[in-house]
A and B are shown apart, each in its own frame.
Chain A
């Protein structure tokens, strides 16, 4: 299995809703990442998890809450989002956090906040 699987592929949520994005990989990778990509912009790093621990938070608002329950799974919990949070949310993984490998990206969750 050489894939990163993200669910759901599409999500529409209201500003008062609570939802979660899920990311899963079975490649034995020990680093996992959340990126946010707005239309016509490059992906921007949100969080880095290293060996199931949060290592980097790029000053992301608290309405985004990441969680790494185990080495294969990464969640992003969403609460009280704003319409400007609508974007493509990409999960990625790499074998280790401390050596410079490329990432494997999931196909993303396209989020619309209404």
Chain B
């Protein structure tokens, strides 16, 4: 089983749509979680951290369910500029050192 699993997509949605991405992780000891965004041939960029209480940043909402080891990202009112690959990332502490483990990413295509 992969450490961090995501549906690779692509998700094709029209502008203005709401889209949700899901992610599951295998290491129950993981303590912190992130969503990164990666544009084609660019580096990953932090989109938002994910907390158990849920957190919102504008059109983006992230949720964490520790019991189910499940993370989600909701994008409302999709824009063309949201087209990218969204990486679910889990921070694992490995012998005292943090280590980011990336999911395979979910590709989003927003069309006019």
Which of A33, A44, A98, A102 has the most CB atoms of chain B within a 10 A radius of its CB? A102
- Give, as a whole number of angstroms, the nearest-CB distance from A66 to chain B: 15
* Contact assessment for B43 and A103 in the assembled complex, using a CB-CB cutoff below 8 Å: no
For chain B, the count of residues having a C-beta within 8 Å of the partner chain is 25
Number of residue pairs A-B, CB distance < 8 angstroms: 62
Interface residues of B in 85-104 (CB under 8 A from A): 87, 91, 93-104
- Chain B nearest CB, measured from A25 CB (Å): 13
Chain A CB within 8 A of B25 CB: no
Query: What string of 1s and 0s marks CB contacts (under 8 Å) between A1-36 and chain B?
Result: 000000000000000000000000000000101000
Which residues of A pack against B, CB within 8 Å? Answer: 31, 33, 41-45, 48, 50, 55-56, 88, 90, 92, 94, 97-108, 110
Which B residues are closer than 8 A to A by beta carbons?
A: 31-32, 34, 41-46, 49, 87, 91, 93-105
